[in-house]
């Protein structure tokens, strides 16, 4: 094994050199946390059963739970069954096994009852079903994924969680307005495909695959999806763009591109979560100062995966 419990050769030298520049003195702590598994977490479903009743039932069964400050229905599982996805409560849709930081993008978007919401890259459905619950199953969530097999998995999770206000579609996200129209949604969530460095806490594959070339390739896809997501918003509508990675090309650079298309950056509110401001400069390139309102979530700050979250509003003009 290499340092911090990584297999020998992980992370790659180009990754290390780049992330040392990116994170500075935080790099060593970032690496230590990335090299170990996070505490698992669940999101209870308040629409199927009173959360207090479910939590009492789980605790009587020996579960030790710790609430997440940024989402009132989110809990770390300090102690519980070895396979959280293999319990009657899970099969009945009373809870969803979901990484703690993954619950933050829907909180930042704040979908409301009666709204029309688009989840542009929705599979496997954790954020889709969370938003449906936040809306009290009122309004509609269009959950889209271009892969038929992933869309089937998404539909299965929607059914298991009982999310009756969700419609599943399977379009190429880069052409979504061709199918659903422009300016029709009150809110859009784009949890974009990414290099997934943050997910390396559960699976080292992203570190094995990481390269600057792949980051730049993914960034081009992200820009295409983000522009289409923005077009699908009504004037004054809001959008959250998120990734589980920290590379600026996949995060701040994407948002910087949207600013020229009528997007405005707003403050992200995640009470109880430790966040860092987004970058306004990277490797000699000056970015819009409003990008400081976006947030970076580091593993060592909350013992979660790494995430980036931006809250945008489409200009009314």
* The one catalytic residue among 77, 244, 246, 312: 244
The Cα 67–Cα 244 span in angstroms is 22
- Active site includes 194? no
β-bridge mates for residue 71, sequence order: 68
Phi, psi of 208 (to 5 degrees): -65, -35
Active site positions, annotated: 244
């Amino acid at each position: 094994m290499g340092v911090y419990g990584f297999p020998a050769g992980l992370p790659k030298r180009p990754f290390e050199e780049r992330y040392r520049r990116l994170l500075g003195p935080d790099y060593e702590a970032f690496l230590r946390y990335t090299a170990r598994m996070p505490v698992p977490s669940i999101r209870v479903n308040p629409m199927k059963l009173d959360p207090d009743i479910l939590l009492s039932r789980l605790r009587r069964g020996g579960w030790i739970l710790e609430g997440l400050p940024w989402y009132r229905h989110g809990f770390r599982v300090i102690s519980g069954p070895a396979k959280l996805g293999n319990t009657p409560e899970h099969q009945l849709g009373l809870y969803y096994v979901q990484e703690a930081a993954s619950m933050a993008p829907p909180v930042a978007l704040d979908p409301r009852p009666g709204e029309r919401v688009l989840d542009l890259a929705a599979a496997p459905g954790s954020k889709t079903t969370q938003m449906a619950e936040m809306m009290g199953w009122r309004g509609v969530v269009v959950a889209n994924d271009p892969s038929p097999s992933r869309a089937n998995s998404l539909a299965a999770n929607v059914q298991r969680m009982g999310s009756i206000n969700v419609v599943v579609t399977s379009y190429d996200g880069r052409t979504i307005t061709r199918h659903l129209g422009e300016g029709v949604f009150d809110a859009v969530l784009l949890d974009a495909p990414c290099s997934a460095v943050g997910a390396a806490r559960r699976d080292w594959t992203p570190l094995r695959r990481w390269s600057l070339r792949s980051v730049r390739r993914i960034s081009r896809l992200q820009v295409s999806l983000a522009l289409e997501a923005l077009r699908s918003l009504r004037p004054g509508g809001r959008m959250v763009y998120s990734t589980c990675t920290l590379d600026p090309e996949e995060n701040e650079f994407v948002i910087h591109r949207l600013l020229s298309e009528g997007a405005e950056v707003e403050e992200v509110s995640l009470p109880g979560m430790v966040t860092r401001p987004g970058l306004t400069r990277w490797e000699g390139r000056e970015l819009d100062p409003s990008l400081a309102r976006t947030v970076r979530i580091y593993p060592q700050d909350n013992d979660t995966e790494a995430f980036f979250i931006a809250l945008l509003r489409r200009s009314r003009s």
